[in-house]
Each structure stands twice: as C-alpha cells, then as structure tokens.
C-alpha cells in the first residue's frame, strides 16, 4: 500500500520531465473526458442528449445511458431519489453570471454556431445566450450555457484561435 501523498514530490506546472511534456501536450493525441451526471428523468435526458443535442446513444440500462458528446463520454445516471442537479452558485465572469458547477465542450466556431441554431430551433432556453466573451482580449471566445432537463449546466465554447484556449 502506498504511503501518504507527498505534495513536495508532485511536478510543478510547466516543470514536467520531457517525456511527460510530450505525452500531455501533443495535439495529435486524442484524449477524451468521461463525466457522469445525475438526472431525475431518464426519458427526458434521452430526449435532450439524443434529440436536442444530437448525441449518439451508447450502452445503457434502465438506470443509466452513455452518450457521445462531441467525442466525449457523458453518462446520465438516474437518481433513485428523483433529485435534480440545481446550479449551486453563479460566478461573475466578464460581467455574466456563470452557473457553477457546469461542464461542456470546446468546439470550432462553425460547429458552435450550428449547435446554437439547433438549440434555438428546438426551443431550448439559454442561461447565457450565445455571445462573444473577452472580446479583444486574450482568450476571446464564443460561449453559451444551457441546462439539461435535470438542471445540469452545460457550456459550449469556441475559440477562433485554438492557441487562445489557455491564454492569460
């Protein structure tokens, strides 16, 4: 069994060994995230993720469904208590009240606008309307926020210049 985690042995950001630098920063490698969220109505989640967002449906049971969200795996798990996932707080970002917690995907600009049009056509209410954030500043990008039927907040972003994703 391993001993306690020693913070003094963790790599400092930007100070990884050369192999780790290549492993973590190679754009040609495809890493995907996996996220599991609770929902209070699996049928409503299936309609939202499948029909509204257009996600491909994967494995499923009577308690959960896997979704491909722009190449990433999101799993909607039925909360046996029927609880919703309300936004806990909002955070002021560039003069907007951003729901926290939230999750989402970074898209290219054309896909972002296609998705925002799709959401409008489907009658999805925006928590934050599609808009340009940090205009003229480092990290300028398009953003929009929506809630799924269970109250999980999703953000979709698009940077015209991918090099701006982590700009300071």
The answer to the question of residue 94 being in a domain is yes
The answer to the question of residue 126 being in a domain is yes
Report pLDDT digits (tens) over 18-51: 444 444 545 556 789 999 999 999 999 999 999 9
Tokens (6 digits) for 45: 């989640």
Q: d(Cα 52, Cα 54) in Å, to the nearest integer?
A: 6
Residue 146: CATH number of its domain: 3.10.180.10
The answer to the question of residue 8 being in a domain is no
The answer to the question of residue 36 being in a domain is yes
Tokens (6 digits) for 61: 């049971």
Q: d(Cα 18, Cα 116) in Å, to the nearest integer?
A: 40
Residue with tokens 């495809």: 30
Domain count, the chain: 1
pLDDT at 124: 97
CB neighbour class for 70 (10 Å; exposed up to 12, middle 13-18, buried from 19)? middle
pLDDT at 85: 64
The answer to the question of residue 2 being in a domain is no
The rounded Cα 122 to chain-centroid distance in angstroms is 20
Q: d(Cα 154, Cα 64) in Å, to the nearest integer?
A: 19
The answer to the question of residue 39 being in a domain is yes
The answer to the question of residue 145 being in a domain is yes
Strands 141-147 and 153-158: antiparallel
The answer to the question of residue 1 being in a domain is no
Angle formed at CA 120 by CA 50 and CA 90, multiple of 5 degrees: 85
Of 19-23, 64-68, 78-82, 107-111, the poorest mean pLDDT is in 19-23
pLDDT at 168: 87
Domain that holds residue 160: 31-164
Tokens (6 digits) for 110: 């054309």
């Amino acid at each position: 069994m391993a001993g306690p985690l020693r913070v003094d042995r963790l790599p400092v950001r930007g100070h990884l060994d050369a192999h780790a630098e290549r492993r973590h920063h190679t754009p040609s490698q495809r890493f995907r995230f996996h996220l599991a969220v609770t929902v209070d109505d699996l049928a409503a989640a299936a309609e939202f993720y499948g029909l509204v967002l257009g996600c491909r449906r994967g494995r499923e049971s009577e308690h959960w469904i896997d979704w491909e969200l722009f190449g990433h795996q999101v799993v909607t798990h039925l909360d046996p208590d029927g609880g919703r996932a309300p936004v806990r707080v909002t955070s002021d970002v560039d003069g907007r009240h951003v729901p926290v917690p939230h999750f989402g995907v970074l898209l290219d600009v054309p896909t972002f606008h296609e998705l925002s049009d799709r959401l409008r056509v489907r009658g999805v209410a925006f928590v934050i309307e599609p808009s340009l954030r940090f205009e003229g500043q480092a990290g300028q990008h398009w953003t929009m926020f929506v809630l799924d039927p269970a109250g999980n907040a999703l953000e979709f972003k698009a940077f015209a210049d991918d090099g701006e994703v982590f700009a300071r």
